[in-house]
């Protein structure tokens, strides 16, 4: 009996999480479509992120990692993710330093 109650609770949780995910994805898209002029900053940010990911993919190697059975495609995408993370951390640090120096001399 208690196992069936747990199963019902799990299914209810799945439904509620699905509703939350749909709401978190659909409502921003609706807001985005209603006022395109305000979304220009978001589009520029997404374009910049895509450029960083594309650049990271280009500079990563496609050397397969035979020990775990990863082929060249997976290896290149993993390298791209690591490179993109390091690049974004570096850009964030540079932006923070620039902001502080700009505030100091302002």
Report, as an integer, the average pLDDT of 55-72: 87
Q: Supply the DSSP string of 82-94, one letter for each residue.
A: HHHHHHHHHHHHH
Q: Which residues contact 71 (CB under 8 A, 6 or more apart)?
A: 64
Tens-digit pLDDT profile for residues 70-92: 888 899 999 999 999 999 999 99
Task: Decide: residue 13, CB within 10 A, 0-12 exposed, 13-18 middle, 19+ buried.
Answer: exposed
DSSP annotation of 10 reads H
**Nearest one of 62, 55, 54, 52 to 91, comparing CA atoms:** 52
Tens-digit pLDDT profile for residues 1-45: 577 778 898 999 999 999 999 999 999 888 888 887 878 888 899
């Amino acid at each position: 009996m208690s196992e069936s109650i747990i199963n019902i609770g799990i299914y209810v949780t799945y439904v509620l999480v699905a509703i939350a995910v749909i709401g978190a994805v659909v409502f921003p898209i609706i807001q985005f479509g209603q006022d395109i002029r305000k979304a220009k900053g978001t589009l520029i940010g997404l374009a910049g992120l895509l450029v960083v990911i594309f650049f990271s993919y280009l500079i990563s190697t496609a050397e397969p990692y035979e020990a775990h059975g990863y082929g060249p495609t997976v290896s290149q995408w993993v390298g791209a993710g690591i490179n993109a993370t390091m690049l974004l951390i570096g850009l964030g640090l540079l932006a923070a330093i620039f902001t502080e120096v700009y505030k100091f001399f302002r």
